Amino acid sequence: MGLSPAPTGPVALLYDDLFLAHDSWGHPESAARLTAITSRLRGEPQLGPECWGTALPAEDEHLLLVHRPRHLERIRELCRRGGGWIDSDTYCVASSYRVALGAVGASLEAVRLALTCPARPAFALVRPPGHHATPERAMGFCLFNNAAIAVRQAQRAHGLERVAVVDLDVHHGNGTQEVFYDDGDVLYCSLHQFPLYPGSGRAEERGEGRGSGTTVNVPLPPGTGPEPWLAALREQVLPALRRHRPQLILVSAGFDALGTDPLAQLALDPAAYGSAAVVLADVAAELGAAPMVWLLEGGYDLEQMPEAVRLCALSLAGAPSSPSSPATSLGT
């Protein structure tokens, strides 16, 4: 994984071609997702070369902040054998362990950059995604929990006392919730379709022990559109953020709540995601310029999903945005 100079633009975009090497023909969580996203973003003058960077891969010690040693060994051994299926949804190829280390490394670097320059948010364009991975289990296309590891590293290396994770993926982030369910220092908020895979994320799941009240689940019915989705963000997630007053806001940025996504039934449009980025940036500013990091999770429609990512990236960069013109669209 080659290193580029640290991004200096208004938003830091972390990406590496290594992330394309984890791929299985016909699977929705494919390299084509990132190819579509980066093609769309690199056409934006507001997101020029100065915004882009890479990162060193993580070490096993970083994974062990969240995952059990036997979980690492199971994935590593499967990759040594050339890959295979962990369950009916989740695969490895020979390079997947190395790719997953790269994804975690980019997530850690995004946190480091955001904390060292709080006025510049960071967006790690990584795969495989992570929010379903539990301490002991890979599932839901996820091998290691990028977001949870990044939070634990922020606590360990940067001494943060309060962190918030806002999960916008259409599927509930059961793995992230499990890691922080009894941790009162980490607020976990999720907007997701319910019922839907993995079956968790009921409103009454609110944490336990020291973490009681620091899990906020907002289950939404199929067909929920932009206005009620954004209202739920404003009315249920923002008050929790204001109460918690995080020193870092990490967004698990899944783009599979779009109405065109093949794996779910919410009805968002790309503009809703751009609006969410503005709303979250505004509350971060209200909370004393809390640094903000976005990590890519799901999203499987290869036309509208890259447009939603583009609008979010432009919002994070403070740049005006408009729908892509036909000349820049990736229409099929």
253-286 tens-digit pLDDT? 999 999 999 999 999 999 999 999 999 999 999 9
Q: What is the CATH number of the domain that holds 52?
A: 3.40.800.20
Query: In this structure, are residues 22 and 96 in contact, taking their beta carbons and an 8 Å threshold?
Result: yes
d(CA 57, CA 75): 16
Whether the per-residue pLDDT at 199 is higher than 50: the answer is yes
**For position 330, what pLDDT does the model report?**
29
Determine contact, residues 210/236, Cβ cutoff 8 Å.
no
pTM over 0.75: yes
Task: Classify residue 198: in a domain, yes or no.
Answer: yes
User: Measuring CA to CA, how many Å separate 325 from each of 57, 154, 321?
Assistant: 36, 39, 11
> Is it the case that residue 323 has pLDDT exceeding 90?
no
| pLDDT at residue number 84 | 97
Q: What is residue 283's predicted lDDT score, i.e. its pLDDT?
A: 97
- Whether the pLDDT of residue 2 is over 80: the answer is no
As a whole number of angstroms, the distance between CA 137 and CA 196 comes to 19
So what's the pLDDT on residue 6?
87
Per-residue pLDDT averaged across 2-27, rounded?
A: 93
- The token pair at 93 is 């190829």
Query: Does 323 reside within a domain?
Result: no
120 within a domain of the structure (yes/no):
yes
- Count up the domains in the chain and report the number: 1
In the set 132, 171, 172, 192, the catalytic residue is 132
Task: In whole angstroms, give the CA distance from residue 111 to residue 250.
Answer: 8
d(CA 111, CA 103): 13
Tell whether the model's pLDDT for residue 1 goes beyond 90. no
- For residue 262, which phi and psi values (nearest 5 degrees)? -80, -10
Residue 6 within a domain = no
| Residue 325: band (very low, low, confident or very high) from pLDDT cuts 50, 70, 90 | very low
Local structure of 196: helix, strand or coil: coil
Summarize the confidence of residues 10-39 as an average pLDDT.
Answer: 98
Residue 322 — very low, low, confident or very high, per pLDDT cuts 50/70/90?
low
Would 321 be classed as within a structural domain? no
- Is residue 67 annotated as a catalytic residue, yes or no? no
More confident residue, 177 or 117: 177
H/E/C letters for each residue in 68-108? CHHHHHHHHHHHHCCEEECCCCCEEECCHHHHHHHHHHHHH
CA separation for the pair 172, 298 (Å, rounded): 11
Q: Which domain holds residue 244?
A: 12-316
118 pLDDT band (50/70/90 cuts)?
A: confident
Share of the chain above pLDDT 70, in %: 96
pLDDT single digits (tens) 277-299 = 999 999 999 999 999 999 999 99
